[in-house]
Amino acid sequence: MTGTNYLTGAEAMVRMLEAHGVNHMFGLCGDTTLPFYDALARMDHGIQHILTRDERHAAYMADGYARVTGKPGVCEGPSGGGATYILPGVVEANESSVPILAITSDVATSSRGKYPLTELDQPALFKPLAKWNTSLDDATRLPAMVRAAFRAMTTGTPGATHLALPFDTQKAPVDEAEIWADARHRSYPAERAGPDPDAIEAAAEILAGSKSAVAVCGGGPVLSGATDALRRVAALLDMPIATTVSGQGSIAETDTLALGVVGSNGGVPATRAVVDAADVVLFIGCRAGSVTTERWRSPARYATIIHIDSDPMVIGANYPTEVAICADARLALEALAQALEEKSDLPKLGGAAKASAAWAAKMAAFNSLAASYETPIRPEAVMASLMDILDDDAIVVADPGTPCPYFSAHYRWRKPGRHFITNRAHGALGYSLGAAMGAHIGRPSVKTLSVMGDGSFGFTCGEFETMVRHNMPITSIVFSNSVFGWIKAGQNAGFGQRYYNVDFNRTDHAAVASAFGVKSWTVKDPEDLPKVLKQAIEHDGPTLVDIHSQQLHEAAAPVSEWVA
Count of beta carbons in the 10 Å neighbourhood of residue 209:
13
Q: Is the pLDDT of residue 2 over 70?
A: no
CATH number assigned to the domain comprising residue 240: 3.40.50.1220
pLDDT confidence bin for 1, thresholds 50/70/90: very low
Q: Is the peptide bond before 299 cis (omega within 30 degrees of 0)?
A: yes
The parent domain of residue 174 ranges over 6-186
Q: Which of 186, 210, 241 finishes a domain?
A: 186
Domain count, the chain: 3
Whether residues 438 and 324 fall in one domain: no
Q: What percent of the chain has pLDDT over 70?
A: 99
Phi–psi pair at 415, nearest 5 degrees = -135, 145
CATH number assigned to the domain comprising residue 85: 3.40.50.970
Neighbouring-strand partners of residue 134: 163
Per the domain annotation, does 348 fall within a domain? yes
Give per-residue pLDDT as tens, 56-82: 999 999 999 999 999 999 999 999 999
Alpha helices in 155-226 (DSSP H): 167-171, 197-208, 220-224
Distance from C-alpha of 49 to C-alpha of 422, rounded to nearest angstrom: 24
Residue 3 pLDDT? 74
Whether residues 376 and 342 fall in one domain: no
Distance from C-alpha of 564 to C-alpha of 549, rounded to nearest angstrom: 23
Mean per-residue pLDDT for 466-477? 98
161: helix, strand or coil = strand
Amino acid 487 reads I
Q: Which of 186, 208, 232 finishes a domain?
A: 186
Q: Is the pLDDT of residue 386 over 60?
A: yes
Per the domain annotation, does 365 fall within a domain? no
Q: Which of 319, 354, 389 finishes a domain?
A: 354
Neighbouring-strand partners of residue 396: 420, 449
Give per-residue pLDDT as tens, 513-525: 999 999 999 999 9
